[in-house]
Structure 1
Amino acid sequence: MLPVTIIAILLLQWSTEARFEDPEFMSHLKRVNNFRCKHPRLTSLRSRDLFEEGVSGLVIIPEMTVVHRCDEGAGCCAGSSRVCGALESSPVYLKFYVHRVFDGTQKYEIVETSNHTKCGCVEDGDNNPRRVLSGGNSSGRSCYQLSF
């Protein structure tokens, strides 16, 4: 039992030194800790994902669009049960050129979506309306709490 105890003490000592004394580790930890969920980020989306109707047989230009989103890529939150989500949003109207291949019609169509305007940490969960609004996948990504 003595060798296991010595190994555990050595691992604990190494872990403490690596966490609190290694400058590269501390720099990384501080960078993550400073990347808080605050500001929406520009995100590209496939244009066809914004159309409510079936998109087979449609040529949509542009194929991609750019909107502001609050999601796991916009920052991290303290605690594993909180995620970055939209606290506020505003409607945005995007004009697309749509060619329907089957009947040959071509026209401009306006699609309404939302730009997230304010991010914040919200409880993770599928039933959280703010989580649904953020449009992100549940990941539980969180900032590491510096407490020393």
Structure 2
Amino acid sequence: MTRVFQFIFGLAFAICLGMHPAIAVERPFDLTGTGTLQVMTDDNGQLTSGDLNASGTATHLGKWTQIGNLVFTFDQSKPDIIFASGDTTFTAANGDTLEAEIKNSELDTTTGISTGQFVFIGGTGRFQQAQGSADFTVTQDLNSGTFDVVAQGQIDY
């Protein structure tokens, strides 16, 4: 009886090992794209927030689209800099989504160049447990609201 129990236990253990989810692997992440930013202002004409829409190509996403929301803050000691934070969703070619927070973003209004970071916080499909980050640079036409974006970093999923 003991050998039968050992066999069944061993078989069950082997099956459980086979069902263990794959371990996330750190992979390089590269993204390029273009988009538009529609800004909102308060009654005094001060920028308050913005909605972004973009598309492009990226490793692990293929062709992607993006929607996101930004909140702007200002520092009187840096009048030419606009700070932004927010959240965004990238949708991959196959429909999987990659969620990210936008952090440490600074737009220099004299150059139209913004830098910051996408911090990946999950998603759907293969990105459900995604983690990692990518540093981005945005070159924006401050008159039209159009922009080009490039990002490089690492993603685990």
* TM over 0.5, shorter chain: no
> What TM-score do you get using the length of structure 2 for normalisation?
0.30
**Does 1 or 2 have the higher relative contact order (CA < 8 Å, sep 6+)?**
1
Bigger proportion of residues as helix: 1
Bigger proportion of residues as strand: 2
- Max Rg structure: 1
